[in-house]
Structure 1
């Protein structure tokens, strides 16, 4: 279990992380979600020991590791750029990860064999990183982190360099391996769909503050603020001022109907495969809606909201 107690970090007078407190349970797949510059990677680096906290405590399995170096925290970390030695073969990269381990050479080789077969990279042991595809390099980076059998696995946007199709298979593999090894994992991403798909729980942060903490369904269906709602879902919520209130409504909850209560003009129509996404100019607002048929730009439409969330007074 990872515990953060009022952890803060300052750069001069500028606070990067603002007294964040949370618990990550043993074996949990915990995702930190935030846009660029929100502090999510800084928080991960604080847990890893790559950055020092200005105040607060970080505990792993109830042991205070706040002042311990990364090598003493029993963690594995997968970076965005994979961090593989280019002049070392795959086997050598994995063996280097075990160089400080007290187990003998035979046990090290057995560990490498076990994890490499699990991640389907056993046939790549004699290749250099430059000879591998992006997906293969990503698997080697995960193997390098897991072969040490750490208490905690930290992952900093490990899929961002992969193409869209490969990201789907890679995140499925990460989730599978994480559950099989029952390893406590903290995963950083700016992609809300990725967070919703793989997380046991999500912590949404912005400007160094923890905005909301919960299971994916809770974060999606009941965002605590406009800031959280704007990060969750693709396409995201529309925010509309009606009757003096600010409401948030997802495109799927806007229905186009001839007897609709509201009316606006379609400013754009996009084809998204199984549906069309239309943008409706409505008074001083823009409303996004999904439809089964293409609606021409400039068309006037009537619509209703099936469901929405009130965020405050406009």
Structure 2
């Protein structure tokens, strides 16, 4: 294991931001931490980076206990959603700053800057200032600044949240490509379940400071451990039937027949299908349909491939 967290707890006053978190992350793994706002995911990243002190527990990177080490001694690169670029310094100077405390020759530093900037297609921007760059270019510079150190670990906190949809897709592919090429263990924080499913080797779902489930995207999608995980990651609707909580995905609701009946409250056009919202005894069910269904219509439906949950 490259990164191990052993019973890590973090308190801010009386507030428990992280509660006895234990994780093992493999070398070269793209590991995503998924959770709602306030779940503790950013705090977890900041503890690994050394930007916050652990209240209790240990953090081990590459067999070294780094719990009490400062960020500069942990060999991690960091990319945050605000990019953390110096506005009064060029792209080249921003990258060079990241190498200041690394004991390599001046020529080696320059070689690294040229190599990474070419890899990320920002070589022609080295003399530009951040204010002269687009959001996508700034994002690439922030990644370059982290990668130029050749860290063992890269920590990324919602790095794509400031980009528009198209740029987010291309940047996501680029991050995964670079991560694979350099075999960098990457911890990536997001609240976007689609992003998590698309690029993770494994996903850690966290809520209220506790780890709820860790697994491969396919495992968590098909077998969420509880309602919270299911609602975050699988687009399930939940209803009470015969004293049980049932979770069902839109593609597993059959419309026009079945033992249940509800009222259509909304129809959304999603390109190849309509997403139909149905009120069933005060619960909202989402279903897929080839046709728009008028709001207020009564409709019968059946559930297939549903999962039964206990209450969280």
State TM-score, norm by structure 2: 0.98
Q: Please list the CA deviations of residues 93-117 of structure 1 after superposition, one character each: whole Å capped at 9, or x if unmatched.
A: 1111111111111111111111111
Aligned residue in 1 for 2:197: 196
1:241 is the counterpart of 2:237: no
Q: What residue number does 2:74 align with?
A: 73
Aligned to 2:307: 309
Aligned equivalents of 1:34, 1:111: Cα separation in 2: 35
For 2:209 and 2:283, how far apart are their aligned partners in 1?
29
Q: Deviation at 1:127?
A: 0.5
- Correspondence list, 1:241-280, <5 A: 241-257=240-256, 259-280=257-278
User: Which residue pairs with 2:104 in the alignment?
Assistant: 103
* Contact preservation (8 Å) 1:78, 1:141: yes
**What is the CA distance between 1:312 and its match in structure 2?**
2.2
Deviation at 1:33, TM superposition (A): 0.3
Work out whether residues 244 and 313 of structure 1, in 8 Å CA contact, stay in contact via their aligned partners in 2: no
Deviation >6 Å, runs of 4+: none
What is the CA distance between 1:11 and its match in structure 2?
A: 1.6
Alignment of 1:1-314 (within 5 A): 1-233=2-234, 236-257=235-256, 259-312=257-310
SS in 2 for 1:103: coil
For 1:193-215, what per-residue CA distance to the aligned partner results, in whole angstroms no more than 9, with x for missing partners?
Answer: 01111100000001100010000
Tell me if the contact between 1:58 and 1:66 (Cα under 8 Å) persists in the aligned partners: yes
Instruction: Give the Cα–Cα distance (whole angstroms) in 2 for the partners of residues 174 and 12 of structure 1.
Output: 36
Rate the CA distance shift 1:313–1:21 in 2: closer, same or farther, 3 A: closer
Partner SS for 1:260: strand
- Residue-by-residue CA offset, 1:3-62 (whole Å, 9 max, x unaligned): 000000112222110010010100000000000000000000000000000111000011
Q: Which moved more, 1:262-271 or 1:38-47?
A: 262-271
Partners of 1:224 and 1:162 lie apart in 2 by 32
Unaligned runs of 5+ in 1: none
Number of residue equivalences: 311
Deviation (angstroms), 1:313: 6.8
Q: Displacement, 1:298?
A: 1.2
Q: CA deviation at 1:180?
A: 0.5
Counterparts of 2:232 and 2:245, CA distance in 1: 17
In 1, Cα distance between equivalents of 2:123 and 2:12: 44
**Preserved CA contact (<8 Å) 2:262 2:281:** yes
Structure 2 stretches lacking a partner, 5+ long: none
Provide Cα deviations, 1:131-170, integer angstroms capped at 9, x if missing partner.
1000000000000000000010000000000011110110
Contact kept, 8 Å, 2:10 with 2:54, in 1: the verdict is: yes
Judge conservation of contact 1:2–1:58 (CA < 8 Å) in 2. yes
- Contact (CA 8 Å) 2:227, 2:311: kept in 1 or not? no
Quick check: 1:28–1:183 contact (8 Å CA) kept in 2?
yes
Q: State the TM-score, normalized to the length of structure 1.
A: 0.97
Aligned partner of residue 173 in structure 1, secondary structure:
helix
**Rounded Cα–Cα distance in structure 2 between residues aligned with 1:219 and 1:165:** 27
